Chains A and B, each alone.
Chain A
Amino acid sequence: MFHRFMRRHDTTDIVMWLIGFGLLAAVIYGSFVTLSSGKYDASVWLDFTIFGLAQGSVYALIALGYTLVYGILFMINFAHGEVFTGGVFTAYFVAIALENSGFIERHWVLSLLILMAVAMTVSVLVAVVLERIAYRPLRGAPRLVPLITAIGASFFLQYTYRGIYGSGIKTYPDFPALDGKLNMFGREWPILTVQALVIVVAALMMIFLYWYVQKTKAGKAMRAVAEDKEAAALMGIDVDRVIVNTFALGGSMAGVAGILYALLFKQVNAFMGFIPGIKAFTAAVLGGIGNVPGAMLGGLFLGIVESLGPSLILDGLGIPSPYQLKDAIAFTLLVLVLIFRPSGIMGERLSEKKA
């Protein structure tokens, strides 16, 4: 019996399952202890969940950029986090100008739209230039070559922002109209106005993207190229242009995500894109990389896990100041998904080659 089991499974498989079960047991035990202690009441959990949804929708928007590019080029655009930073950091200076002229107070919707337009433009520009200079000449090179290029580009961009815009943390101006809880339909809802706005805008962008990819001609070309580049080229599709389009689309999502991030967290600096970038990548992997709805769901899921996890699991395990470890939760999740289900929650089964 034992021998037959051993023959069918590698030792490493067993070690991995043991690690998995150990972590699962820790998660269950931690949650149980926290919940039975009654340290937090229901409204706190609701707040955590809503915050998780809001930051998750930002992750989801960034994750779309990873997923779109991966779907077409089978490469991880490691510098996508910096595409995100470029837009929101540049828009910061516009935001300051708008605040100083009092424009934000008078027309907050219009200012928000202006900021988004600026951030999108810059992010698209960064993404397209990146593709042109760093990635296009390497198409067809062994897979690690563009990856190393992307890592280099990521650092280059971070330190470029630092050199040009300065190294300090900058505080985004406040939108007075968005302060406090959401007041609508004659009653107060248990959600901050900013969070509601972030969720709604992100949802609109995702619907737009889904429509673009599924219904427009450009989206059809994109899907065709993702399916088979050669056949698409034979059908008269300009593959280079489709790839540029893809980078631009990912960049524009990252631009919007940047402004939403700034609304939620109020701070920007030159290195801000790195951690959200990796987390968004986690989200993309969670949903099955290359899968557009998957990236959206993965982002929301990661956002919620990250916001609930520290108090729910780590607190119960008796770890002091658990919130410091929230990044570790996201990365652990990434590792676990890649080990146990590299195709993601809802991705199609990838061959081992791709994973």
Chain B
Amino acid sequence: MDKELKFSWSEILKFGAIAGIVAIYVILVGMVEAFNDRYIISETVTLGQIALFSPVFLLGYFAADKARQIKSTGFAILSSALVGLVGGIFVAALLFLGANINMRAVFLNVSPDLLKILHLGQETMLGAIAANLIISAIVGLFGGLFALTPHKWSNALLVGLSIVLLMGIMQELMTITFGSKDWYKPIGKFIYAQKGLSWGGAILFLILGAAYSLWRGSGKFRPAAKVAKMPAKQRMTVSLTAWALGLIILLALPKFLGSYPSEILTTVGIYIIMGLGLNIVVGFAGLLDLGYVAFFAIGAYTVGVLTTTGKLATVGWSFWMALPIAVFLAMFAGVLLGIPVLKMRGDYLAIVTLGFGEIIRVLVLSDWLKPFIGGAQGILQIPKPHIGGFVFKGPQQMYYIVLAGILLVGYVAWRLRDARVGRAWKAMREDEDVAEAMGIHLVSTKLMAFATGAAFAGLAGAIFAAKLGSIFPQSFNLIVSINVLSLIIVGGIGSLPGVVVGALILVGLPELLREFADFRMLFYGALLVAMMLVKPEGFVPEKTHARELSEKEPFAPEIEPEAPARETI
């Protein structure tokens, strides 16, 4: 197409304007200021600055990438720098406006502090504008150079920089976890300064990351291929050893890490259980359920009501007696809510399940049910589970219950995936009519998916209630459903390891970055859109699913005749 091959000065303006608008968005939404105290490299680079300049970098990259296909390398480099410059003009204009008129009445975040950050250390307005333009142009130029570097090297650089960023964010966690250990003290002193990585640490991690990436890329690192070549008996031993080793590491983790990281891991684990459940409903069976949090709430409230010793005390059972009831009730609710929506598909199903979730939330909050489940005050004093004399009192102990839950649920999901019912789910996901014609009983298959997913969520809810010791309606809003949906989409719909990866990235990482809490849902929303546009199969795609998605015609900009009948997701 001719249109694709055009790259001119107006294109540079367009890219620059996009960079500028995105940068202004990042500033106005408050990220730059919120992240400014988080130093990645000591005294030099803050996360706020990274947020401020990454749009320019990215658009410089895209501009150079597009330009080099048509024009010379020199032009590509020049255009990326110019894109950076144009982006810088936007930010400088915002700075100028912010200094001269009071924008705060509308844009809450344009505070004197923010303007000071945008001055980039310069005293005068003129100096600040110049600094913005020059730095933006340089960052854009780097983006361009990055695009022109051979893939192998730019990839290595990317991995290295990501490791630096991750280690910078993890400083607090590392200090909390290992700060008191003797072996860590000299290491910590070398890699971290007061705030952020020291230069030595940054360079070390950059080199380590790059070297790792190059080593992976060289093709010498293929353990899976090596194992596959072994004779069957040896292969068995290797995989058993790997499993045993993994399990030992998992079991030892809380002892080794301490209380706070165990807390994060337990939260991640609860999301993994829910993710595995929703993965059955959405990933295997292709039924988009947005009211998933309802089953989580039912599990949590069942355990709450049955075990609490507080004001709402009823029977005062132990956790272990309440647990099966919670799972069963959630499962029952899954079937009950599943029946009415049997005949709905796709988007209608999504909205109706969303409605169910909201109904449950409204009911939980109402005065009507307050005598039983506490209304807005929730249920307090839920006792910790115990086996004999061993009480699961803190996160380090709860971790084991969560781990057991994950292993159980993961095993069930894994076995179901390739079982008769799992294959029926996938057939139904592809095309309900064909599946029915093949002799799959749609009603029972669908209800089975709802029931299994709901049971997992009920288990997660029960553990959640025991972990917190008190539950409030606010913990069960739609955002939980969206979190779970996001993590299975990021991991790869229908993929079991994807759930774990997705939960670690989407639930674990934000726990490390407290400033991030305000932007979490913003980020999730953007991520859902971006994943659907760029990588709908997720980061750890399920094999068949990835194949289905790539089989399909690429997303053409032209109009497709009709919404296709296939209900793949």
Chain A interface (Cβ within 8 Å of chain B)? Answer: 10, 12, 15-16, 19, 73-76, 93, 96, 133-134, 136-149, 151-160, 163-166, 229-230, 233, 239-240, 278, 281-282, 285, 319-321, 324-325, 327-328, 331-332, 334-335, 338-339, 342, 352-353, 355
Contact = CB atoms under 8 A, between A and B. Distances in A.
Contacts of B343: 339, 342, 352, 355
Nearest to A243: B559
A355 B352 CA distance: 12
Contacts of B216: none
A144 B494 CA distance: 14
Contact of B569 (A74, A137, A144, A278): A144
8 closest A-B pairs by beta carbon, nearest first, are A152-B528, A140-B560, A156-B525, A163-B29, A155-B525, A159-B522, A144-B569, A331-B355
B561 A230 contact: yes
14 contacts: A75-B563, A137-B533, A144-B567, A148-B485, A151-B290, A151-B528, A152-B525, A324-B366, A324-B368, A332-B355, A338-B352, A339-B343, A352-B343, A353-B345
A73 B560 CA distance: 10
Most buried by B among A19, A327, A338: A338
A320 B565 CA distance: 47
A166 B108 contact: yes
Interface residues of B, number: 71
B555 A138 contact: yes
B269 to A, nearest CB: 24
B350 A147 contact: yes
Could you tell me the dominant secondary structure of chain A's interface residues?
A: helix
A163 B356 contact: no
Contact of A147 (B344, B346, B352, B557): B346
Contacts, number: 204
Interface stretch (B50-58, B131-139, B357-365, B459-467): B357-365
A140 B107 contact: no
Contacts of B521: 155, 158-159
A282 B354 CA distance: 12
B553 interface: yes
A251 B158 CA distance: 41
Nearest to A333: B355
B438 interface: no
Given A75-B563, A355-B345, A163 B290 contact: no
A141 B555 contact: yes
A165 B108 contact: yes
Given A149-B528, A155-B528, 13 more contacts: A16-B340, A19-B340, A137-B555, A139-B560, A148-B528, A153-B529, A155-B521, A160-B522, A164-B28, A281-B351, A320-B368, A324-B365, A335-B356
Contacts of A160: 25, 29, 522
B288 interface: yes
Interface in B107-130: 107-109
Contacts of A156: 522, 525-526, 528-529
B332 interface: no
B347 interface: yes
A334 B355 contact: yes
B529 A149 contact: yes
Interface of B: 25, 28-31, 105-109, 286, 288, 290, 339-348, 350-352, 354-356, 358-359, 362-363, 365-368, 443, 482, 485-486, 489, 518-519, 521-522, 524-529, 532-533, 536, 552-553, 555-557, 559-569
Nearest to A134: B529
A276 to B, nearest CB: 13
Contact of B533 (A149, A157, A324): A149
Contacts of B342: 12
Given A164-B107, A164-B109, A278-B351, A144 B286 contact: yes
B507 to A, nearest CB: 16
Contacts of B525: 152-159
Contacts of B346: 143-144, 147
B519 A163 contact: yes
A155 B350 CA distance: 15
Nearest to A130: B529
Contacts of A73: 563
B368 A321 contact: yes
A324 B362 contact: yes
A54 to B, nearest CB: 23
Given A93-B105, A153-B529, A140 B555 contact: yes
B482 to A, nearest CB: 6
Contacts of B341: 338-339
Contacts of A332: 355, 359
A247 B55 CA distance: 28
Contacts of A240: 559
Nearest to A156: B525
Contacts of A339: 340-341, 343
Contact of A233 (B486, B489, B559): B559
B427 to A, nearest CB: 16
